[in-house]
Every structure is written in C-alpha cells, then in structure tokens.
Structure 1
Amino acid sequence: MRLIESVPNFSEGRRLDVIEQIVEEARKVESVWVLDYSSDPDHNRSVITITGEPEAVETALFSMTQKAEELIDLRNHSGEHPRMGATDVIPLVPVMNTTKEECITLSKRLGKRIGEELKIPVYLYEDSASAPERVSLSNIRKGEFENFASKIESEQWKPDFGPS
C-alpha cells in the first residue's frame, strides 16, 4: 500500500455546515480516510487532515476544492488568517511507500486540473514552486485576496495553472 497525507486549509471556520459538506467530499472517496478536522472562527479557517492512496487523495482534494469553490465566497469573508482562496493551501506529504518527488508530481497534476476544470488560479509553492519567489507561501499570499486582482496582472504573478 502507498499512502500520502494532505492537510488542505479552507477559508471557512464559522459555518460548520459548509465544512461538513467539504469533509463529506473526502469521505465519499474509497481508499481515503479523514483523520481529523478543526475550525477556528476567529481565523475563519478550517484544516482537514486526510490520508490514503495518492490517486484517491488527489480525487478527494479535487472534489473538496470544487465544493469549497461552490460554497465559499471570499468577497463576503473576514478573518485573522491571511488567505488567497476558498481552498487556500493543499500540502501533500509522503507517508508510506511514496516519495516527495511523487507528491510534487501529484501537486502539479492536481493544480493543472483545478486550474483547467474549475477555472481557479493555482500557485505552486515550497518544493513544487515554479520560481524562487514562489517557494515561500507568505510571499505568494502577500496582499491577500483583497489585492489579488492587481497582483495577478503582473507577469511575475501569473498563476502556474488556471486563468489570470
């Protein structure tokens, strides 16, 4: 068995019904297990920990992102935590019989799918980063959602996948 872990962060921590719907997307996928999730109303953010076979986790993450896009509108969002999207970050971690390189490949495949099918701008960061200024997540988030429309106009900040 091959396992990876993902701890996606969603920009919603107050409406528990929304979080439950996002978590349910992971529960629907065979060979994916929801290990934990928590919400913080002050930060207006939820963190969900899932694990499973890489392809199954990829499927779950896409479905969770699609549900978050459907239910979370950042134009009506406030919270203490810096954020860029309804699905703010999707880290991938090798757990068993997988490698960091496989997680990097999966991050690019998932990012491409999210960008193309959901029409969401995607930025790769840390080990998956496409440029040195994108390694640091805080650098990508600088300006947050409110200033994103002007930031994305710059050639330096065109997304790795999806529309600009």
Structure 2
Amino acid sequence: MDFNFTTKEQKKAVDQSMLLCCKFFISESRNIATLDAIERAARLNPEAVLVNKFPDRAYNRVRYTLVSYVLHDCTGNAIYSPLQQTVVAMAEVAFNAINLELHDGAHPRLGTVDDIVFHPLARASLDEAAWLAKAVAADIGNRFSVPVFLYAAAHPTGKELDTIRRELGYYRPNFMGNQWGGWTMPESLSQLPDEGPITVSRAKGITMIGARPWVTLYNIPIMSTDVSAARRIARKVSARGGGLPKVQTLGLVHGEDSTEIACMLLERNQIGADTVQNRVEMLAAQEGLDVEKGYFTDFSPEMILEKYKNLVSVKRP
C-alpha cells in the first residue's frame, strides 16, 4: 500500500499521529561495510527515522532504534507504518550480508536478525505495536524463509521472550565455554514457528519478533573475568532467581578483562536502574568483586520521542 503526503497539513497531521518504536538487533558489529549497508536501507524512507545505534564489539551485536507513525482506516484499525518496509529492507540486507555460521560473540543469539521488538510511543497502543510485529513477521518468514517466533503482545497467548528463548537453547554457550558461535542446534525445529519454515538455514538462524511496553536495557560492568561469579550475581538479581521483580539478567564475558550483568528492566517505574545497581554492588561485594557504574544502552522513550521530533523537523522545514 502506497501513501503519498503532498500538503503541509497532511504532513503535520502525520507528525502528530501515534508513533511506534522499533528496536532491531543484528548479530554483527565488526564488519563496517555490512553495517553501512544496513543503515542505508534504514534511511531509504525518510518517514522512518533512525534515532540511535548501539554497537558492542565484544558481543558482536548491534541494536538500531527507529521511530515512525502508524495510520488507521476509518474504523480505527492500523493499516500502515513506514517502519514495516524499512525493517524488512534492513533484514534483507542483513540476511544477504551476514552468515551466522561465521559469527561469534559473547552475547547469546539465535539468528542473523536476532530480535525485533516494537514499542508504542506517545498516543499509540500496544495493539498497534502487535499489529506491526505480526505484519513484519509474516514478511520475514515468507520472503526470506526464516522461522519467526512471536512473543509478548504479538503472540496469541502472550508468551514471553525469555520463555521461548529458553526452549530454543538461547542461553547455553556453544563456543569456547562462554561464547556463542555458528549454529550448533538441529536444523529441524522441535516446535512450529509462528511464521516461516520449520527448518532452519544455518546461515540465517531464527528471528524473534515481539511487541511489548517499554523495556529499559542497562548493563553493569564487573571488574573480574570470572564469568561464573557474574552468572551467580545475575541470577540472584533476576526475578527468575528470586531477586528483583520484573528484572531479567545475563552474566556475560565482556572483553578481555571484565564481565558484566546485562539487565532488562521490564517495569522501569517500578524497579529502576538505581535499585538494580545497588543490588549488584551488594552481591558483588559478597564475592569480593568491584563494580563500575552501569550504563544505559538506549535513550529513554521520552528522549527518543524528542530526538524523533527534532530529526523530523530538520527533514521537513
């Protein structure tokens, strides 16, 4: 479906409409030519705005953050967002340029395009984010023959990301004891994906696509190479390990001389970064380890919304 906006009034109406945010994670951070090609695809449609990029060389992983509007029909159903074509175009470049069999890094992953999650911004709803997640999943599954698993609001029963990942073996290192490399799992899946084939291309892997309220990503460096200690701390901090509610964690190697606790804060207004930081520092002290101040890997939704508006105003004088 093609939408053309010709008048200032139409463009202004779009600017003030409901917005969706996409976080797009790929399994690559070291090949600059590949990243440049993906970013060119991200900028093909000026109506979809790339507001942030976060690469991590140790993890060999990049997250792109994009924002655009969503349009509705006369009954209020979502029917179009520039993000759909943009995200699929980025995925196409990634699938063509990245071979998962040749990839290795210190962060778990299941696919070349590992995770795509949509969040509502401003006046948008979770239903609209879920609609876009399912539309993108159908495109990626069918066009690129990649198994796609939906999660959270995009899943028929709301199944969460960490549950599906655990079932698929995401959290088990398969390379050098604490790294992830290549594809070492069966090529025929034991469970049916939501979109795409049941067989896995070893070069492309699996893609997870979901929709959920905002997730804050916050990483805390541990000044130790003892990944077992980092994992013990991570488990005690997480809700799954009896720690902080609505907090998910991973203890990972990060570079040659440190580890870190990678945290997903599912309810930032309930359990924020300061609370997590304090709990990690307390547990690390019990292990005799020093902790550095953590860092956010993306802007807050308020800052992303502001950056989007600023970038759009520059593009449309």
Tell me the TM-score normalised to structure 2 length.
0.48
More helix by share: 1
More strand by share: 2
What is the identity percentage for the equivalent residue pairs of Structure 1 and Structure 2? 26
Give the drift of 1:114. Answer: 0.9
2:116 to 90, 107, 124: 90
Specify the alignment match of 2:197 in structure 1. 163
The one-letter amino acid paired with 1:158 is L
User: Which whole-Å CA distance do the structure 2 matches of 1:39 and 1:80 have between them?
Assistant: 13
Specify the alignment match of 1:47 in structure 2. 63
1:136 lines up with 2:161 in the alignment: yes
User: Which whole-Å CA distance do the structure 1 matches of 2:41 and 2:161 have between them?
Assistant: 29
Give the drift of 1:138. Answer: 5.6
- Once the two structures are superposed, residues 122-159 of structure 1 have per-residue CA deviations (whole angstroms, 9 ceiling, x without a partner) of 01012222456x41336325424421525x1x2xx211
1:81 lines up with 2:107 in the alignment: yes
The one-letter amino acid paired with 2:160 is V
Specify the alignment match of 1:71 in structure 2. 97
Q: Which has the higher relative contact order, 1 or 2, with Cα contacts under 8 A spaced 6 or more apart?
A: 1
2:146 to 106, 116, 120: 120
Specify the alignment match of 2:136 in structure 1. 110
The one-letter amino acid paired with 1:37 is K
Specify the alignment match of 2:41 in structure 1. 25
Report SS of the residue matched to 2:50.
strand
1:149 lines up with 2:183 in the alignment: no
Q: CA RMSD in A?
A: 1.7
User: Which whole-Å CA distance do the structure 1 matches of 2:155 and 2:165 have between them?
Assistant: 10
Q: Which has the larger radius of gyration?
A: 2
Report SS of the residue matched to 2:148.
coil
The one-letter amino acid paired with 1:80 is A
| Structure 1 segments unaligned to the other structure (5+ residues) | none
